[in-house]
Every structure is written in C-alpha cells, then in structure tokens.
Amino acid sequence: MNRLTRFLPLFILFAFVGAVAWRLSSPADEKIQSKMIGRAVPAFTLASAVPGKPGLSSKDLASGSPRMVNVFASWCVPCIAEAPLLAELKARGVAIDAIAVRDRPEDVAQFLAERGDPFMRIGADPESRAQLALGSSGVPETFIIDGKGVIRYQHMGPIEPGDVSALIKQWEEAR
C-alpha cells in the first residue's frame, strides 16, 4: 500500500468537513417566497368569518384599487403582536382584507373585539385551501394585491414597526 492510499480517507474527511463548514458559513436563502407573485389571485370564495362582516372572494381583490390581504388566526401569538400595526396601516389609508385560517367564528370575533378590527372583509378558511392557493406557508402572512387582482408582494411573518413604511410603499406601487 503506497503512502497516498493510506491518507486517502483522511483527505476525504477533510474535504467533507470543509464543504460542511463552507455551507454553514453561507447558508442558502431561508426566505421562501410565494410562486404566485406576479400572478393573478387564484379563484376562491370564502364565507364570512364573523357575523356582520362580509366574506372574501378573489373577485373582491380585483376591484380596481390595491388591497392588502392579511392571513391570520385568533390562536396565533404573532398575529396578536401585529394587530396594532394593522390598525396603523388602516389609519394611513391602506385597504385591508383578511383570511382567518382554521378558526372558529366566536374566536375570531373575540380576537377582533380585544385587538381591534382593521379589516373590511374577513373570509373563513377552515381547511387552509385559500391560504395554500395564495402560496402562504403559515400565519401571519400579508399580501399586496394590485387593482387587477395580481399578487405584487408577500410579507412573511408578523408585521413589525420597521415593516410599516415598506408595506405602504408596496401598496402604493400596486396602484
């Protein structure tokens, strides 16, 4: 057995450790964007999530003016944290609709009573079909839809104070 053959396993180990260290030092992009950005909102019709508030359909999102659609749930802790920022967006003139995912009407009503209601329409999505059709992977997520019903922007995770101006900018660009 020659000298190179004896050290071959050691060279392979070093190459493997080097490759792993390189990938860990520069991981792939962790943000998974919806493949629906730039495409029309898929057809859906959702019943109202709470009494006295209209439901939501894809036709409502092609009304000629941009819309923000917030995918949320009453049981979602980050959704609670973003509620005041949604109220701020509404106060600044942003038209917001919502999709309540896997939720009960009484829980959604209680959430809105305690946290405020910035939504014009709230559709109930008990089986997450509309959520998944939009390309949403969880709650909360927010989409900006232009007046023609085309998805222009997706914000994954809760809206934080630093995100408000960027969301307003995206909403204005969707006009």
Q: What is the pLDDT of residue 30?
A: 60
Phi, psi (5° rounding) for residue 145?
-120, 130
pLDDT in tens, 14-61: 888 877 777 777 766 666 667 889 999 999 999 999 999 999 999 999
**Domains delineated in the chain:** 45-173 (3.40.30.10)
β-strand pairing of 122-125 with 151-156 = unpaired
Which is nearest to 69 in space by CA: 150, 160, 127? 150
pTM, two decimals, is 0.82
pLDDT in tens, 156-165: 999 999 999 9
